[in-house]
Amino acid sequence: MGEKVVNPSFEANLRQLEQLVQQMEQGELTLEQSLSTFEQGVALTRACQQALDKAEQKVNLLLQDEQGAISRKPFTEQT
C-alpha cells in the first residue's frame, strides 16, 4: 500500500506564504535564494487559489435550488 499524501491546509499554505514574503522583505537573501523563495511563493499562491476556487464551487453547489439555478445572496454576518 502506498502512503497517503496529505495536502497542507489553506491556512498552512497561507502562513508559509506569509513567512516567505517576510524573508524576501528583509532583503538578506542571495539572488538564488530569492528566486527559489519566489518560486515557492508562486506555487503556494496557486495552491491557495485552487483551494478558494474549490470552496466557491462547494458553496455554489450548496446554494443550488431544485432546478439547478444558483441563488446568489450577499454574505452578511449575523451578530
Place of cell 439547478: 68
Cα separation values, 35 from 8, 23, 40, Å: 22, 12, 9
The amino acid at 26: Q
| pTM for the predicted model, two decimal places | 0.69
pLDDT attached to residue 75: 63
Please state the domain extents for the chain: 10-60
Cα separation values, 47 from 8, 9, 43, 68, Å: 9, 9, 6, 28
| pLDDT tens, residue by residue, 44-72 | 999 999 999 998 888 887 777 767 777 76
Alpha helices in the chain (DSSP H): 10-26, 31-63
